[in-house]
Structure 1
């Protein structure tokens, strides 16, 4: 029997590939620990013959499966069918054991290990997970969620600690086993530099219940970082309801033009700006090949969630007709959201766009 130390199991996938159990050495043990309560995910696959999977708690912390270690869960699928374990565990030390079952002299296999926080099903309300942390020894947090039907999946990673950088990644649970493993498809990511907000607004296409994983990953070289993360789902015809600072324009004191694009994997872009006394702005969205709209927003309660009373102006012209918001001259901090129009039927094309902030001075406060 051999024991492999995996270290602290976090939201980073650990793949142990091309391991072998034989008639003379029929078991392998993988030792790992958790720093806090999480879901343990183990996925045994690509076996050349039948092997089984067991999870123990290492009560005496010796790295060996012995009589003092309770068996927590097992998976004993027949033949080369994959074995998986999804188990809610507290902090401590654990042992994953691969056991040769078949009489075949030598069996090779791959084992994936991960841990996640189970968000559960996304409904109509925003779910917030605040004061999370990642570090060099625990570099990623993984959040599992699910919902039914084609929807917009929205996430906003914000309030990253000063001087640090955390990025955001979205995966689909391709085999729908509730475990983050090497089969799961990477869908999109948001990797704004520094402690800028990272947002994902992704149009899903599944008609049934589908699991997804959202990973918050410490950028290499960053220190220990804290952050907040919000999750929501919206109807295909509804804009994203999470508010982040993707593009910071600062205080407008002149005209600014920016170009961007919105698509299935990035349904909305947000521009933050400020207006001081005696200032106003005209905003124009054009240069589109398909329909996109704009909304002007003020986050009155600073919760990064868009409520209906926080939408100050909007323009929703159809097709490629330019959208315009004219003569806005309030003082304060504001957000412009560029949102791709979705009629929830058929294929909705991506589009490039140009947005212009035409600054002007006023004679009044």
Structure 2
């Protein structure tokens, strides 16, 4: 249950490691103010509250159950209620925290209590600058279907940021319809997990076209920001009004993981003799727009492909391959001009389509080269290369994908000494003397099946 039934909640957005806020407490109306913030590593934090018109209670909690709500399960770390300015000096680890400012006592001649809250992060060097520092409003999306009418005014409110969190992979659809001008629509991922949009966060989608605009993305678990920015206001207007809709899908039916802006590469089947076998399917084509399909065969156990990803045009490349026996698979991707997501799936429902019922076996989403190694059983697999971010000065990301396959078990070759010992007359009386001594003849009788990938 909640700690305080009547409360005012505010989310702290640090600017260069500091936060300042003037608060108001009114008996019977607003008696508890709660401030929430997150840290992505160990930090020293100083908190001070200076009241005017009474005494306050200052408490500091850790979000022990990670539900972003101050409730009875959360741990009280420290409190102060001495009168005058209340101060807490804290050494905190990574996590989410709550600052509670509550009414202690109001001066008899007053009907309210005003206070100033200051929170200083002493490790200021670890804080990246905010991406939009001025004229910015921040909102939190807490439902799977979110709608709001926004207002942008030149010089006053020019940026609005909407934050949402995903606990699993979801399809997200964002639409913005401006009235009275033009806006830009951007989608960012909270790469440093500090719950604020800063210069370290990656741009993963954008739409700057005139008129209504949208973004359709399949996003993994994490925190994301939708940015709506003012570009221009019509001459006869002083402001711009817009509607924003954010829909987070929740469909249990298998659907294509990457339905738009995707490219499919079919690597063919692999047999022990090295020949390929194609896998047919009666399913309709999954990707009908912006799609390229390739039948690619492994050569000497290796496949290499160089390609490009372009925002809003080709953002996902999917490579399909089959194994007819257990193999060791090495997968690596080397991007330039941006950041990629590399994933490996198993076609668990055997329909030859990458959909939600398929199992994610491995995932990497870091800057620079990425790779992983897996031992895979017989079956069909998908390699997904997705666009995560593009450098500011370019329009596309070039990359090279390499997939190597090797037998899962090394085959040993019998030496001539072993053959002579094993097949000599003494140990094998049924063999004649000539066969036991003729190593070349014996080698010709022992067969080795060479597996070609």
Alignment TM-score > 0.5, same fold: no
Short-chain TM bin = 0.3 to 0.5
When Rg is computed on C-alpha atoms for both structures, the one with the higher figure is: 2
TM-score (norm 1): 0.35
Greater helix share, 1 or 2?
Answer: 2
With CA pairs under 8 Å and 6+ residues apart, which has the higher RCO, 1 or 2? 1
TM-score (structure 2 length as normaliser): 0.29
Higher strand share: 1
